[in-house]
A = this chain, B = another copy of it.
Amino acid sequence: MSSTIWSVDDHLEDILSAIRPLDPIELQLPDAQGCVLVEDVTVPVALPPFDNSSMDGYAVRVADVAGASEEFPAVLTVIGDVAAGSDGLPTVGPGQAARIMTGAPLPPGAQAVVPVEWTDGGSGGGPAGSMRPAGQAPEDASGEVRVHRPAEERAHVRARGSDVQAGDLALAAGTVLGPPQIGLLAAIGRGTVRVRPRPRVVVLSTGSELVQPGEKLAEGQIYDSNSFALAAAARDAGAISFRVGAVTDDAETLRSTIEDQLIRADLLVTTGGVSVGAYDVVKEALASVGDEDEPGSGIDFRRLAMQPGKPQGFGSIGPEHTPLLALPGNPVSSYVSFELFVRPAIRALMGLPDVHRPTARAVLAADKALTSPDGKRQFLRGAYDPGAGRVAPVGGAGSHLVAALAHADCLIVVPETTTSVEPGADVDVVLLG
């Protein structure tokens, strides 16, 4: 461990400067959800690809319905149906109409669409509310229809290319693919798309005292919670997470476990074993894994000017130089460290434009002043009220207060140079969303 004390910002910058976005791959549309597009996608064919009807009604020639009214309807011969997806379009001649459905191509000869509600629907009676199903009343596709209103040219016609034109930029590289973007890509016919994949994050906790939840505790043992919380947090950040669970405090076991996991890891996260104790297995196992001939390889263990979360490790491991973040073992320390360092790393691997949680300024609502050690950036758990712009501390500063963490929705940040924050003062909060 170097004797330098790192600032939070320097440690984060060191991590982000070393992380490269994952290489893009071609994915099926549904698998690309939440991923970042790496290509400019242009429109291959205009949308809509043909002039089509925006209503259920009749495709007509404008001159045939000029001056039509309910009293003096235009009487047209129905020459057939044009349904969406139908091919072999009929040509609408003078005095004729084709029954047409929403989205169906405007047939040749027709100049406008009159909605079915502007007609008698072929019933010979008053204005129609709807059409009868074609399967049950095939006779409605022939006979006569009375049109009660005139229509302007192109009325109720959606023009070819009115949504997008061939050659238009549909989505730019860097776009995050949410449901509407997936919809647009499908609409222009893209079955696959080139994106950065979700990173595979392997989470393992270390500690001979750790027991799997659901098992029975012996004396001196506690339950492993870090691997569960951080695997969930990694998934929440957009990763595919693999929870290895607790590894005993034995350097050889840890090294071989990590080597085993490298095959499925784009990022490794460990908890525990990074401090100054005689059983700090992560430090012992990984402090010497670097290849001396390979700049940047190996894991560097550091002290950070922060609370909680002082001891941290970062570097890369294995033949692919897989990044590894070694977090402290206290549950609150490891969770805060995850939020500050691992989440941005995951989002950088995804190529996301913004890797950080949103922050806000809020008024401290507390009974007494918050105290913070000089020279350290402190992260306290808080409950944020966005309406009132206020934040209240939840639980104390102790790094083992996992119950308080579960009732917080933000981190209150007390800067390095501040040792006391009075109630009513403004503070920065990191919103955990």
Decide: B214 and A189 in contact? CB cutoff 8 A: yes
A26-65 CB contact bits vs B (8 Å, 1 = yes)?
Answer: 0001100100000000010101111000101000000000
Q: Smallest CB–CB gap between A369 and chain B, Å? A: 22
Contact of A101 among B230, B236, B278, B432 (CB under 8 A): B278
**Cα–Cα, bound, A47→B400 (Å):** 9
Which chain B residues lie closer than 8 Å to A217 at the CB level?
45, 49, 189
**Cα–Cα, bound, A326→B117 (Å):** 22
A144-152, A157-165, A194-202, A258-266 - interface stretch: A157-165
Which chain B residues lie closer than 8 Å to A101 at the CB level?
277-280
A99 contacts the other chain (CB 8 A): yes
Which chain B residues lie closer than 8 Å to A56 at the CB level?
275-278, 280
Q: Smallest CB–CB gap between A378 and chain B, Å? A: 16
Contact of A129 among B208, B276, B284 (CB under 8 A): B276
Q: Smallest CB–CB gap between A220 and chain B, Å? A: 5
A319 contacts the other chain (CB 8 A): no
Decide: A329 and B163 in contact? CB cutoff 8 A: no
A104 contacts the other chain (CB 8 A): yes
Decide: B103 and A329 in contact? CB cutoff 8 A: yes
Interface size on A (CB < 8 Å)?
Answer: 113
A344-377 CB contact bits vs B (8 Å, 1 = yes)?
Answer: 0000000000000000000000000000000000
A109-150 CB contact bits vs B (8 Å, 1 = yes)?
Answer: 000000011000000000001111111110011000000000
Quick one: given A33-B232, A87-B220, are A284 and B179 in contact (CB under 8 Å)? Answer: no
Decide: A182 and B403 in contact? CB cutoff 8 A: no
A66-74, A78-86, A291-299, A420-428 - interface stretch: A78-86
A209 contacts the other chain (CB 8 A): yes
Decide: B280 and A207 in contact? CB cutoff 8 A: no
A6 contacts the other chain (CB 8 A): no
Chain B residue with Cβ nearest A406: B184
Which chain B residues lie closer than 8 Å to A89 at the CB level?
220
Decide: A213 and B185 in contact? CB cutoff 8 A: yes
Chain B residue with Cβ nearest A115: B276
Chain B residue with Cβ nearest A399: B54
Q: 25 A–B contact pairs at CB < 8 A?
A: A1-B129, A33-B235, A33-B236, A47-B222, A84-B208, A102-B277, A103-B222, A104-B209, A129-B276, A133-B251, A133-B280, A135-B251, A135-B284, A140-B278, A162-B400, A163-B402, A170-B403, A178-B236, A179-B236, A179-B335, A180-B402, A183-B232, A185-B228, A186-B223, A186-B225
A30-B232, A101-B279, A137-B278 provided; 17 other pairs, C-beta below 8 A?
A47-B403, A50-B220, A83-B277, A86-B208, A102-B330, A103-B329, A103-B330, A105-B220, A133-B278, A133-B284, A163-B398, A164-B403, A180-B406, A183-B229, A183-B335, A183-B402, A187-B223
